[in-house]
Amino acid sequence: MRNNFAEMATFEKSRSLSTGATPRGDREAGKTGKSMPSSPNHHFRYRHKAKTARHRQRSINSRKDEDLSKYELNPRRVAAGQDTRATLMIKNIPNKYDQEMLLEAINKRFRGSYDFFYLPIDFKNKCNVGYAFINFISYETVGPFFEEFNQKKWEKFNSEKVCKITYARIQGKNAFIDHFRNSSLMYEDLTCRPLIFHSSGPAIGELEQFPPANVLRRPNAPEDFQE
């Protein structure tokens, strides 16, 4: 009986080799998930793909770093008049701060020196989203503001958050007006809206009425503001 099985196995293997069919043992191995050793070309293609993916990721990270570096504030360049941008992003704000609290902190030293302010609010939980924007009438105020707030802890709520000041992507009061005047945000409560203030004259620093919309907005159209 054993000799018959051995002869049948030998016959099947020789037949497979002559016809090019896969031996039964190899077919069974395929069913169990085992595979034949990969060829050198397969390993080369795998290494090439992995190397390409790593290179692509490094390029993406490099571009991100370059993009972020555009918004880093250098006080020396500001003091030398080499960077005259005047719109800042205030980061790491405790979420319980509201518009009044943040303006109170700013107004201790900088009342009347800015003409735009916006603290975005998450309307689901009625808390701020952790950052705000402020535009100063003169870039010369940027240095003192940076010194006052950057890398400083917040006074209220015993928060461990540390303030970080960078430049904003959108620059200038007029650019923000154009960005927001047709937004549904302008129909929200005043404490949730972007605010503008007079930039000159006897009313400098006082609240100014936001210009009306100049484009008809489709009802329930999504907002497009994202910093």
Domain span at 121? 75-208
- Which token pair is 136? 């100063």
Residue 222's pLDDT band (boundaries 50, 70, 90)?
Answer: very low
Do 60 and 160 lie in a common domain?
A: no
Question: Rounded to 5, what percent of the chain is helix, strand, coil?
Answer: 45, 15, 45
The alpha carbon dihedral of 135, 137, 139, 142 has a sign of negative
Arithmetic mean of pLDDT over the chain:
81
Residue 12 belongs to some domain of the structure? no
Summarize pLDDT for 119-160 with one digit per residue, the tens.
999 999 999 999 999 999 999 999 999 999 999 999 999 899
Structure tokens at 92: 């790491």
Euclidean distance between CA atoms 9 and 100, whole angstroms: 88
Any alpha helices (H) in 36-98, and if so which ranges? 40-69, 75-79
| pLDDT value of residue 48 | 65
Would 162 be classed as within a structural domain?
yes
C-alpha distances in angstroms, 41 versus 46, 47, 52? 9, 10, 16
Q: How far apart are CA 94 and CA 159, in angstroms?
A: 7
| pLDDT at residue number 68 | 78
User: Is there a domain that residue 227 lies in?
Assistant: no
Number of domains in the chain: 2
Assigned token pair, 90:
């205030």
**CB-CB contact of 89 with 71 (8 Å):** yes
Which pLDDT value is given to residue 63?
52
- Residues 7 and 16: their CA atoms lie apart, in Å, by 14
Residues 179 and 152 in one domain: yes
CA 133 to each of CA 4, 117, 141: distance values in angstroms, whole numbers, following the listed order? 88, 6, 15
Q: What is the pLDDT of residue 214?
A: 87
Do 83 and 126 belong to one domain? yes
Residue 87 lies in a domain: yes
Inform me whether the pLDDT recorded for 192 exceeds 60. yes
Instruction: Classify residue 20: in a domain, yes or no.
Output: no
114 and 82, same domain (yes or no): yes
The closest of 132, 75, 82 to 103, measured between CA atoms, is 132
Note whether 154 and 97 are same-domain residues.
yes
